[in-house]
Amino acid sequence: MAKTQPSESVVKAWARLTRAQQLALAAIEAALKKADLPALSWYDALLELERAGERGLRPFELEHEMLLAQYNLSRLIERLSRARYVSRQVCKDDGRGQVLVITPAGKAMRRRMWSVYGPAIQAAIGTRLSEAEIERLTALLGTFLERAKADEARSGVAGRRDYSIHHRNEAT
């Protein structure tokens, strides 16, 4: 481990990355709340489950997609299940686990959330950068994420677990 201090420019990049994300997130969460809708973590879980279709997902798969700690996810699932947006089914292949499947009500809620979430993304990001700027930002962040993924693979999945904070998503 190197313990090297970062250059000024790296610190500035980190500060801005965080502030930009924070600003956009706050506006988006506020829009959802104003519309009396659940928070983003519900959206992300519902989206993944909808993509998975009838086969559903195991909690640990969802955990990986969402970068959520296991105990955290366990409680999120409990809430989604109580709200009847997700049904928990027994897993035939593995007695330890369960399979999560989105319900019709869950799909409907995801769509309702998108009708607020989408425009909020547009207002927070889309109106503040040109198409060209968006493309450049996306490309840079893509490079960053790819290298991070490569590092993760290199370190043999060690250092996983223990994330937190909602969110992720790549479309609709």
Partner DNA sequence: TAAGATTGATGTTTCAATCTTT
Partner DNA sequence: AAAGATTGAAACATCAATCTTA
Cβ closest to a second copy, residue 9 vs residue 54: 9
The site string for DNA over 35-54 (x = CB under 7 A, - otherwise) reads: ----x-x-------------
Cα separations in angstroms, 84 against 55, 64, 88, 108:
18, 23, 10, 11
The single-letter code of the amino acid at 60 is F
Task: Select from 86, 47, 73, 52 the least CA-distant residue to 161.
Answer: 73
Per the CB < 8 A criterion, the answer to whether 19 and 79 are in contact is no
Q: What CA–CA distance (Å, rounded) separates 32 from 155?
A: 38
Cβ closest to a second copy, residue 99 vs residue 116: 116
What count of Cα atoms within 13 Å lies in the side-chain half-sphere of residue 136? 4
Q: Pick from 35, 60, 126, 155: which binds a second copy (CB under 8 A)?
A: 126
Q: Angle CA(82)–CA(35)–CA(81) in degrees, nearest 5?
A: 10
Task: Please name the residues in contact with 89: beta carbons below 8 A apart, sequence gap of 6 or more.
Answer: 56, 98, 99, 100, 101
Does residue 79 interact with DNA by CB under 7 A? yes
Encoded tokens for 140: 């840079």
Does residue 155 interact with a second copy by CB under 8 A? no
Q: Pick from 35, 105, 108, 148: which binds a second copy (CB under 8 A)?
A: 148
The site string for DNA over 93-132 (x = CB under 7 A, - otherwise) reads: -xxxxx----------------------------------
Does residue 112 interact with a second copy by CB under 8 A? no
Does residue 118 interact with a second copy by CB under 8 A? yes
Does residue 21 interact with DNA by CB under 7 A? no
Does residue 24 interact with a second copy by CB under 8 A? yes
Please report, as ranges, the residues that interact with a second copy according to CB under 8 A.
Answer: 2-26, 29-30, 67, 118-119, 121-126, 128-129, 131, 133-138, 140-145, 147-148, 151, 159, 162-165, 167-172
